[in-house]
Structure 1
Amino acid sequence: MCRTGDEGEGADAHRDERSPDERAQFAALLEDSVEDLYEHAPCGYLSTLLDGKIVKINNTLLGWLGERRDDLVGRRNFSDLLTVGGRLYHETHFAPLLRMQNEISGVALELKAADGSRLPVLVTSTVKRGSDGQPLLIRTTVSDARDRRAYETELLRAREEADRERDRLQRLATTLQQTLLPPALASVPGLDVAAYYHIASVDEVGGDFYDLFPLAAGTWGLFLGDVCGKGAAAAAVTSLARYTLRAAAVYDPDPAAVLDNLNTVLTHEYNGTDPRFCTVIFGLLTPDPDRGGFHITLASGGHPPALLMRAEGTADYLPTPGGQLIGALPDACIATTTVHLAPGDTLLLYTDGLTEAHINATTGDGERYGDDALLDFGRALAPTVAGDTVAAIRDLLDTFGAGVDDDTAVLAIHVPRLPGGEQK
């Protein structure tokens, strides 16, 4: 029967369309013997008896080692090819695990070449068993790990360099942070003072700041604030705010006027697309010769209210309603309040890193410490003194652990009781 034209075309479609060179290459691959593949594989192969005696080794591994086959086969053990440390590891870990598991893979070792050089390798070994289940020999594959070792070495070098750079930046951040805080608070006759700065991250400079300093005879100024943001930009605003507050207080110590001056400076210095603002509470302290203790007038620019812990054991916030962020608006509303600090009273100023800390950081439930909890804390603490107040706050922050995600500054001032507990 004759084939139709369609059938002929279909048969032609199945013809080998490869070029002669491609067919020759494919034929060469088919003729590649198993023995040749073993000898010139891209990894090393060797077989040993159960006692480690080498009975077979391929040309690839011999080339890496620079050894002759006759010098190894039947004469030396696999462990003889290892460095001293590798031999110790092989005897104490590798070989015992292989006997128990019948296979062990990807173990990093070093081989000792004939010229004394070291060759990092990854070793995989399996136990071959006979038909009766008894172990006959050990087959081992050796992979060249020089590129991997070079990569790991470079990675380690880069990691060490990054660690050194991180340490340098941390030291720089710590040094810069210290320059933004007073080295020591002024000593005020008739007043005990304590302060603390809790750093949330050693990698970044925070924006919290405080100070206590003398003004005219018999008066002292104090402030505590929190700049929005972190890092070098926040540090620049912190420095500007701190020195502006001190200079403005010398010119006009009225707390509202001091904050108004700071607001003017910030709105003029930072405007347009890069506004910078902060919350600040500023106080003016003057002794009260008639009743003892001190008068303090506080002005707040959007700052959390101060906590007053009285000598009789009560505690309440000193509200300064209506105070707006400093630097946010050209004409900020500044709220003030005046209070008498009697002997035995303690006033606590703080930044919101305290009240906004997560109390259950490990569970990640997002619950904040909050203003109510701090008020309860103050009521349980009163009556107290400045040092004990700051110590209690430090302990409280420690209980939050990683839940404190913002720097926290606290400043406590206490009017000591007169000798014998009597008040003037």
Structure 2
Amino acid sequence: MTAGSGDEDRRGCGPVPEDDEAARFSALLEDNAEDLYENAPCGYLSTLMDGQIAKVNKTLLTWLGYRREDLVGRRRFADLLTVGGRLYHETHFAPLLSLQGEIGGIALELRAADGSRLPVLVTSTVKSGEDGKPLLIRTTLFDARDRRAYESELLRSRQAAEQARHEAEEARHEADQARAAAEEAYRLIEADRARLQRLTTTLQRSLLPPSLTGPAGVEVAAHYHTASADEVGGDFYDLFPLSRGSWGLFLGDVCGKGAAAAAVTSLVRYTLRAAAVYDPDPAAVLANLNTVLTHEYNGTDPRFCTVLFGVLTPDAEGSGFSLTLASGGHPPAILLRGEGGARHLPTPDGQLIGVIPDAHIATTTVHLGPGDTVLLYTDGLTEAHTAPLATPAGGGRYGDDALLDFTARLVPTTASGAITALRKLLDALGGGVDDDTALLALSVPHPGGEPRR
């Protein structure tokens, strides 16, 4: 067999006549076209112009569960639609198809033989004859169940997102309300705290003399350091005239803080003044105070204080003053001599006032000459916390010895100079001072005015 002898049968049976080959190829094409139509992945439907079904492929029949003879020549396309679909077909789909000759991508629902619904996308085209007159309508239907499921899932996701957004908005709204409520509560708390601080400050001032005026020839200075603006402290001091040119003075500390301590402080100040008028002897004054406190406060609610009470009396020759101090468990006063040096004025074994009926009262007497200064203080200063290396002890409590060393470096000084230096010290200790501190200083100036250095 040569190359020019023509095509041969694939089974090697010799050449195939050209007429038979053309017939066989035509039959093959016709068979493939029919199979493609019947088993296409989409539904095909041909109807007359009135909608009567003339041809339908196997795919659509399978989808709907009909036999071919159930539809062809018996039903119209609109009969396969749901009620809503028929209404849309009559009012929109059919008029537009008639007007345009083609319409595509329309979502409709078919009603299957078992009553179930099948979502489809419909494309229809009008086929016309050679004379231009419409002959039939060819319709292609795509299964939209996957798309419908996707759209449903998308809708559910969108609804879930909307619900989440709504819940987030609600949560944010609740958070805003909670924040607003918290801010309002904070504002009210701050307003209450400010009112409390004003009341505390007013009450604290009422327990202290508005001003101090000493005897002629004596300079007086005082300071009250408040550790907390929220609580009334129990520290107190005063200076007042007695008979025959002498003056009474006291400084002390009531245990506790707040309104209860303020009440005791008021009673102590009143009692000290009244007792000094009755009998100015410092030991007798503190004994009277001890009697009042042990009588008024006993049992389960004892109240006590530490206190120094003194009487300042001018010398007959006018060279200075005599100061007698009585102590009820209070830290000793500090004497700063004009010529230099500082020391404690010992009042040993003085007991707390208000604890036992017959408390021991210790007394001491000192002469104050020109340039001398005496300092009375409460333990808020000496018990202040200090940073490491701030004191010779290297931290801890400030202490009596540190205060004595500090005041010794001030000599020569005056009452106002000593109080100014101690105010700066308290400010330097800052938050370490966690208890109120009262300071009272008296000095006898040099005749020339300024202290000699």
- Determine if the TM-score, normalized by the shorter chain, exceeds 0.5: yes
The 3 A distance-change label for structure 1 pair 59 and 183 is closer
2:325 match: secondary structure: strand
Count of aligned pairs between the two proteins: 300
What residue identity is the alignment partner of 1:375?
L
Q: Decide which of 214, 235, 250 is 1:208's aligned counterpart.
A: 235
The 3 A distance-change label for structure 1 pair 383 and 208 is same
Partner of 1:148: 175
Q: Decide which of 195, 199, 203 is 2:226's aligned counterpart.
A: 199
What residue identity is the alignment partner of 1:238?
T
Partner of 1:80: none
Q: Decide which of 405, 412, 423 is 1:394's aligned counterpart.
A: 423
Partner of 1:288: 315
Q: Decide which of 157, 172, 191 is 2:199's aligned counterpart.
A: 172
Q: Decide which of 287, 291, 297 is 1:260's aligned counterpart.
A: 287
Partner of 1:272: 299
1:18-33 map, 5 Å: none
Partner of 1:385: 414
Partner of 1:369: 398
Matches of 1:286 and 1:416, distance apart in 2: 16
Larger Rg: 2
Q: Shift in Å at residue 188 of structure 1?
A: 1.3
Q: Decide which of 373, 377, 380 is 1:353's aligned counterpart.
A: 380
1:238 match: secondary structure: helix
Partner of 1:238: 265
Q: Shift in Å at residue 185 of structure 1?
A: 1.1
Matches of 1:332 and 1:245, distance apart in 2: 16
Q: Shift in Å at residue 289 of structure 1?
A: 2.9
Matches of 2:431 and 2:152, distance apart in 1: 64
The 3 A distance-change label for structure 1 pair 37 and 208 is farther
Q: Indicate yes or no: 2:438 matched with 1:319.
A: no
What residue identity is the alignment partner of 1:347?
V
Q: Indicate yes or no: 2:303 matched with 1:303.
A: no
Q: Decide which of 154, 176, 180 is 1:35's aligned counterpart.
A: 154
The 3 A distance-change label for structure 1 pair 261 and 422 is same
The 3 A distance-change label for structure 1 pair 235 and 422 is closer
Q: Which moved more, 1:376-385 or 1:266-275?
A: 376-385
**Cα deviation code 1:78-124 (max 9, x no counterpart):** xxxxxxxxxxxxxxxxxxxxxxxxxxxxxxxxxxxxxxxxxxx97xx
Q: Shift in Å at residue 38 of structure 1?
A: 2.1
1:116-155 map, 5 Å: 144-155=171-182
1:263–1:326 CA contact under 8 A, matched in 2 = yes
1:381 match: secondary structure: coil
Matches of 1:314 and 1:291, distance apart in 2: 24
The 3 A distance-change label for structure 1 pair 235 and 366 is farther
Residue ranges of structure 1 left out of the alignment (5+ in a row):
1-30, 46-57, 65-120, 123-141
2:445–2:451 CA contact under 8 A, matched in 1 = no
What residue identity is the alignment partner of 1:205?
V
The 3 A distance-change label for structure 1 pair 280 and 420 is closer
Matches of 2:187 and 2:365, distance apart in 1: 55
**Cα deviation code 1:227-267 (max 9, x no counterpart):** 00100000000000001000000000000000000000000
Matches of 1:182 and 1:32, distance apart in 2: 86
Matches of 1:359 and 1:275, distance apart in 2: 32
Matches of 2:181 and 2:234, distance apart in 1: 37
Partner of 1:181: 208
2:383–2:399 CA contact under 8 A, matched in 1 = yes
Q: Shift in Å at residue 359 of structure 1?
A: 1.3
Q: Shift in Å at residue 40 of structure 1?
A: 2.6
Q: Shift in Å at residue 186 of structure 1?
A: 2.5
Q: Indicate yes or no: 2:252 matched with 1:248.
A: no
Q: Indicate yes or no: 2:361 matched with 1:329.
A: no
Matches of 1:276 and 1:231, distance apart in 2: 13
1:279 match: secondary structure: strand
Residue ranges of structure 2 left out of the alignment (5+ in a row):
1-149
RMSD: 2.5
Matches of 1:178 and 1:362, distance apart in 2: 35
What residue identity is the alignment partner of 1:418?
P
What residue identity is the alignment partner of 1:307?
I
Partner of 1:413: 442
**Cα deviation code 1:5-34 (max 9, x no counterpart):** xxxxxxxxxxxxxxxxxxxxxxxxxx9974
Matches of 1:376 and 1:292, distance apart in 2: 28
1:186–1:214 CA contact under 8 A, matched in 2 = no
Matches of 2:432 and 2:311, distance apart in 1: 34
**Cα deviation code 1:162-186 (max 9, x no counterpart):** 0000000000000000000001112
What residue identity is the alignment partner of 1:371?
D
The 3 A distance-change label for structure 1 pair 59 and 168 is closer
Give the TM-score taking structure 1 as reference length: 0.67
Matches of 2:399 and 2:291, distance apart in 1: 31
